[in-house]
Amino acid sequence: MYVVQNRINSPASEAFEAHFAESMRNNLKDVPGLQRAALLKPTTDDQPYVATMEFESKDAFLAWMRSDAFRAAHGNADAPGMQAPASVEAYTVVEDVRLSAS
């Protein structure tokens, strides 16, 4: 599994959250190799939002970056939060423990 995190230094904003969530729903549903995507809201003002995407492989992630879905998700520079500084980190999963609910 290949995990990408985008730390977005946008002030907490309902408009940002609504735009980002809608973009995720509209642009990610048919991305090959994408297993999960989430937007995490900070619990304090000094933390960034974190968008995470879990891909089956690095190749699936790189293919997404060249896709129409990627361009659509990042195409509106005037959308709330799109001007905020961001940093992207990528990881290869070493261990993934899944626990069932009791």
Structural domain count, the chain: 1
CA distances from 93 to 20, 90, 97 (A): 25, 10, 11
The β-bridge partners of 61 are none
Q: Please tell me the predicted confidence (pLDDT) of residue 33.
A: 96
How many CA atoms does the CB half-sphere of 81 hold within 13 Å? Answer: 26
Asked whether residue 24 is assigned to any structural domain, the reply reads: yes
Q: Please tell me the predicted confidence (pLDDT) of residue 102.
A: 62
Q: Are 53 and 27 in contact (CB under 8 A)?
A: no
Show the CA angle centred on residue 50, arms to residues 49 and 56, nearest 5°: 160
Q: Please tell me the predicted confidence (pLDDT) of residue 72.
A: 84
What domain range includes position 19?
Answer: 12-49+59-92
Asked whether residue 40 is assigned to any structural domain, the reply reads: yes
C-alpha 89/C-alpha 14 separation (Å) is 25
- Walking along the chain (102 residues) 10 residues at a time, the average pLDDT comes out as 93 87 92 96 92 96 91 77 81 91 68
